[in-house]
Every structure is written in C-alpha cells, then in structure tokens.
Amino acid sequence: MNDKKRSIEEILITFPSAKRFSLAILQEVQKEYKYISPDNLKAISNYLAIPISDIFSMATYYKSLSLEKKGEFIIKVCDGTACHIRGSLSVLDEVKRALNINEGETTPDGLFSLEIVNCVGACAMAPVVICNQDYFGNVKLGKAKEIINSCVKAVD
C-alpha cells in the first residue's frame, strides 16, 4: 500500500497525445491517486492540448472519476434493483451509522469512503456490499460492522 506512486508524467507518457485517450488517462490517474487533483487535471489538459474546462467537465460527468480524495477503503453498497428489493437501503443505513458518514463522504481519518453503486452485476447474491475488490453477498442486517472490520483485518 505504501508503494511509490507513479508521477503524472510517467502516467501520461504511456498514452499517445490524442483526445480519445482523455477518459483512459483520467481513469489511470484516478486509480493511482484515488482522485484527480487540480494540478493533474491541468497536466492532462496541457498534454492533450484540450481546454481545462473540457477535462473538468469529463471528470465531473463520469461517476468513476472523483475530484476529492477517496479513502483507503471504498465501501460500496449496491443499490441495483435486485439489491434494492432485498433491502439494500436498510443495509446502507446501517453502514452509514457504523462509519458515521453519509454516502459520498470520507471518514475524517481518510480510511473509509462510502458510495452507493447502481448494480455490480452480482444480483444473485443480493444485497451486496463491496469493499475495494472484495464482494460480500447476501448481507444480513446487523452484519455491517463485521464486514468493515474484516476488510481492515485483511489488509493488516
């Protein structure tokens, strides 16, 4: 987790300087830094020779991109239809209470971000909670804390 992050230049150099790579570059920067910083946004704009407002527009349009730094653990509560009718909103409420943040927010210690996602395609296991890459299916009420703890432990 403490691996040195690639610099923005190192990321940019792996893409041709053409407009059609703007989304791919933004995604790569998001993966590396967990957000798109103002400096990086500008660097992308310069590299591709696209107005900064266009890049900003994309960064705010696509849901996988974020302008604010996300937590180390991103907890996603799926609210796809299958999860929804199996009570995902109650699960969400419970996670909110456990982390003491609302959706779209990050805990003050920078450890957790909470997001609602619209279907991750794991409907057969609804309701689903995802922590970074780990899927938790058939989540029962009262299990939120357990899931959060197990994510943290897995990394420790």
Q: Which residues bind another protein (CB under 8 A)?
A: 18-24, 26-27, 38, 41, 51-54, 56-58, 60-65, 67, 79-82, 84-87, 90, 93-94, 97, 117-126, 133-138, 140-142
CB of 108 or CB of 142, closer to another protein: 142
Tokens of 67: 């302008």
Which CB, 5 or 145, lies closer to another protein?
145
Whole-number minimum distance, CB 131 to another protein, in Å? 11
How many whole angstroms from its chain centre is CA 116? Answer: 10
Toward another protein, which CB reaches closer, 60 or 149?
60
The C-alpha angle 106, 111, 117, rounded to 5 degrees, equals 50
Q: Least CB distance from residue 107 to another protein, whole Å?
A: 18
Residue 16: C-alpha distances to residues 11, 13, 45, 90, 110 (Å): 11, 7, 13, 46, 34
CB of 1 to another protein, least distance (A): 19
Per-position b or e across 61-89, b if 16+ CB within 10 A of its CB: eeeebbeeebbbbbbbbbbbebbeebebe
Of 51 and 110, which CB lies nearer to another protein in the complex structure? Answer: 51
